Structure 1
Amino acid sequence: MSLNSAKPWSITARLTLLYIVSASVILLAIGWYLHQTLAETLAQDNRQFLLKEIQLLRTVLLEQPPNLERLADEQSEGMDLPAGRYYSRILDESGHSLSETPGMETLPTATQFPVVTENAVAQKIADGRTLMLMTARSKSPSQQTIQIALDISHEAALLAKYRRNLIGALFFGLLFSTLTAIFVARRGLSPVAEMTRHIEGISAAQLDEQLDPAATPRELSNLAAAFNAMLLRLSKSFAQLNQFSADLAHELRTPINNLMGETEVALSRPRNADEYREILESNLEEYGRLSRTVGILLFLARAENTGIPLRTTCLDGRAELEAVCSYHEALAEEKGVRLICCQGQGVLYADAQLFKRVLSNLLLNALQHTPHGGEIRLSLYSAGDGSASVSVQDTGCGIAAEHLPKLFDRFYRVDPARSAEGTGLGLAIVKSIMDLHGGSVVINSEPNQGTVVTLHFTAKQKG
């Protein structure tokens, strides 16, 4: 089983582990600090005691000749201490003992005193006792050696007991920290569980049941707001999908019913070849209408969901507009509409084929709604930053303000009674193509005054 396939830890487990690790580090650090502080304090006190005793013995040894009786009295003063037993020995230059406290001879011979230094060394001897040893030289001309030892077994036992208590406190502290961490993690994540229960109850028919960001903690308020925004988008998408499905069924039902009706009439009685040919030609028109509708819908689906690869090039705007006008000149003359192309010059960055498709859709839409004797004017505007705008202006019937926000919706028609004149997808294609180019399309219109559609193309992206 690979590591990547392992199930991730829950947030509760992660928070609990982090809390336990943090508490462990803190408790260990505090325990180690207290233990070291106590040990260093005891060691410093013992060292000061030994240095004080060495100084007293040096003072006595300065007398010449050495007063052994006074030296023995000085050594015996610190033998029975409340903190531990004290031993000392005075050696002459040849290493023979001049004076030593009782019990000094009982120390194991394996016990080695440190070299002459005023640093104390702790050492555990064979009988289990722990001694602090120190060696020093006298200040007298004879240079006697002072060996001094302090039994610190009681302090070692105290430190050992202190360590055991620290370990016990650490264990119970970690146990309490674990229980506290689990409680705190679950308590802290309870708003997430509440949000989960609320989300689980939301279905496609209940997209209006949003979360209340004000009732959630600050860390989750942005998540709640983002979730509400997602619900709004989903609600809008469902509404559009339902409307699209209804519109699509309506658009496909009309040609299919026409085909079925004509076929039933054709089969109702025997007919000659010319009649069958006429029926097939009529059906072919309906097939063409179905094919165009399906092709446009597939184009829109690709443009919105997967994207269409653009072959963006630098186009001569004036030449492109004149080419499209020339292509539709015959239809305009047939309808008695004057095409004026064009005002302005400049370049624009766009896919040539898609640009022609956008202009053709706008021209066909303008020709459809411009009466005999009207005119359609194409204009090109180039900005200093490299962007460009193309406008298609007609003198048609115009569009009421309440229809303008819906003109880019699929199958939307200002006058449903004139549905036979188009699919209602032309402006939806225009909007999708402009979105692919990163541009925009704006419609301005007034009833009985005409309509202006403006395409905004962005400048060429560097790099």
Structure 2
Amino acid sequence: MRKISLTARLTIIFVLIMAAACSGITLTLYGALRHELIWRDDRTLINRAEQLRQLLQDGAKPEMLPLYFSRMVDTQQDILLIRQADGPDVTINQTGIRLTELAGENQPGVLHRQRTQQGEELTLLSLQGTSKGGAVTLTVARLARERAKMLEQYRRESLLVCLAALVLGAILSPLLIRRGLKAIGTLSKITAATQADRLSDSVPVNSLPRELLPLGEALNVMRSRLAHDFTRLTRFADDLAHELRTPVNVMLSQNQVALGQERSPEAYQQLLAGNIEELENLSRLTDNILFLARADHHNVALRKERFSLADTLENITDFLEPLAEEKGLRFVIEVQGDLCADKMLFQRAMVNLITNAVRHAPENTFIRIKA
């Protein structure tokens, strides 16, 4: 399965956030616009009803109100119904909507909303009034056609704007994200181009963005550790080659000389004994070097115990006493107290150290061990 790139993931997240933000903003503005339009239509309906009732109270005839009404409103979506107690109804209705009877209220501003058979929203207001002919019921109604068209246009335009914004964001966001991730590519190239002889060269963290500074600093720390370990490994290989070269050359020379002419079986036995001795020295040398390398890299499991330092050193010097007597050397131990450590590792380290001291010390001298 192909993995989705980081750029694609960030683009998807960015587009989803944009979609959520556009949806939230559009719905909020749509709700505010719809509320404002409804409030405006309601205030217009109430004001017109109040004006018509005031005309009736001032003596205008109900038959004349349609003339005033047609001048005040859009008859394509507004309805007027005047019911007289002692006269015919006066109606202006070009909408084709059948009015539902609604009992009039003496107080203005009591609105009633309902749905027509076609599903359109209809707002009605009925008021009780008086004229020279007696009591009248004034009903004013308005269909929400204009408001519905305006809201529909707003929804359509908002949808187009949101889609355009999402498409633009989907196109531009990968470009911007790639530009922002360019530093990661640069960091990858620097890391990929690292050679063994350039481990000490640090990554230029000054050119990295703030978010990548911890990564750059961590890479520099890692490169520094690798450079240090590589130097130690090189030195270890050099030391190992130097230590092995001498005994190997000696064995090679002895064997070449021995094979140069026929010799007695005793001579060959002596040569083999010398080879075995040199091989044993090589084996001990290899063990010591590997032990020091493992101990240096903390790969040795420690078994700590408390033991007498003086007794342990005396046992080691007794073991190396024959080697020291060949050069007339004497050991002087000036230590006391106990030590908490891995006794076996301590003994091996001290054997190596004292053996080197015996090899390089002048004849007929002292080897002093102090702690």
TM-score of Structure 1 vs Structure 2, range by shorter chain:
0.7 to 0.9
Residue 324 of structure 1: which of 313, 319, 334 is its match? 313
Q: Deviations over 1:60-88 (max 9, x none)?
A: 99x9xxx9976676687545525963335
Is 1:204 aligned with 2:196? yes
Structure-2 change in CA distance of 1:118 and 1:285 (3 Å): farther
Does 2:212 correspond to 1:223?
no
1:121 Cα deviation (Å)?
3.0
1:20-46 CA distance string (max 9 Å, x none): 222222222222222221111001122
Q: For 1:168, give the aligned amino acid.
A: L
Secondary structure of 1:101 counterpart = strand
Cα–Cα, structure 1 residues 241 and 99, in superposed 2: closer, same or farther, change >3 Å?
same
User: Structure 2: how far apart are the matches of 1:337 and 1:135?
Assistant: 125
Which of the residues 122, 129, 153 maps onto 1:132?
Answer: 122
User: Which one of the candidate residues 346, 353, 356 is aligned to 1:355?
Assistant: 346
1:19 and 2:9 aligned: no
* SS of equivalent to 1:150: strand
Q: Give 2:184's match in structure 1, choosing from 192, 195, 198.
A: 192
Asked if 2 retains the 8 angstrom alpha-carbon contact of 1:132 and 1:152, the reply is: yes
Q: Is the 8 Å Cα contact of residues 87 and 103 (structure 1) preserved in structure 2?
A: yes
Quote how far apart the aligned CAs of 1:291 are: 0.9
Equivalent residue number for residue 253 of structure 2: 261
Q: Secondary structure at the match of 1:219?
A: helix
Q: 1:301 to 1:112 in 2, by over 3 A?
A: farther
Q: Which residue of 2 aligns with 1:161?
A: 153
- Structure 1, unpaired ranges of 5+: 1-5, 380-463
CA distance in 1 between counterparts of 2:196 and 2:114 reads 79
Structure 2 CA distance for aligned equivalents of residues 251 and 112 of structure 1: 117
Of residues 333, 338, 342, the one that matches 1:340 is 333
Q: How does 1:32-431 map to 2 (within 5 A)?
A: 32-52=27-47, 77-78=68-69, 80-82=72-74, 85-89=77-81, 99=89, 101-103=91-93, 106-108=96-98, 118=110, 120-121=112-113, 123=115, 125-126=117-118, 130-134=120-124, 148-207=140-199, 210-300=202-292, 302-303=294-295, 307-313=299-305, 315-316=306-307, 319-329=308-318, 331=320, 334=325, 335-343=328-336, 345=337, 348=340, 350-368=341-359, 372-374=364-366, 376-379=368-371
For the 8 Å contact 1:213–1:221, the answer to whether it is kept is yes
Q: Give the conservation status (yes or no) of the 8 Å contact 2:333–2:369.
A: yes
Give yes or no for contact 2:45–2:140 (8 Å, CA) kept in 1.
yes
Distance 2:137 2:282 in 1: 118
Q: 1:83, 1:152 within 8 Å by CA — same for their partners in 2?
A: no
Larger helix percent: 2
* TM-score normalized with structure 1 length: 0.63
| Shift in alpha-carbon separation, 1:28–1:105, aligned structure 2, 3 A | closer
Larger RCO, structures 1/2 (Cα 8 Å, 6+ apart)? 2
Partner of 1:451: none
TM-score, with normalisation over the residues of structure 2?
0.76
Identity %: 25
The CA deviation at 1:250 is 3.0
* AA aligned opposite 2:91: T
- 1:84, 1:154 within 8 Å by CA — same for their partners in 2? no
Judge conservation of contact 2:82–2:136 (CA < 8 Å) in 1.
yes
Larger radius of gyration: 2
The residue identity in structure 2 corresponding to 1:174 is: L
Cα shift at 1:10: 2.2
| Rounded Cα–Cα distance in structure 1 between residues aligned with 2:309 and 2:200 | 48
Shift of 1:181: 0.8
> What secondary structure sits across from 2:12 in the alignment?
helix
1:133-155 residue CA offsets vs partner (Å, 9 max, x unmatched): 24668699xx9987642122011
Q: State the 1:367 CA deviation.
A: 4.7
SS in 2 for 1:133: strand
CA 1:156/1:320 → structure 2, altered by over 3 Å: closer, same or farther? same
| Paired letter, 1:358 | A
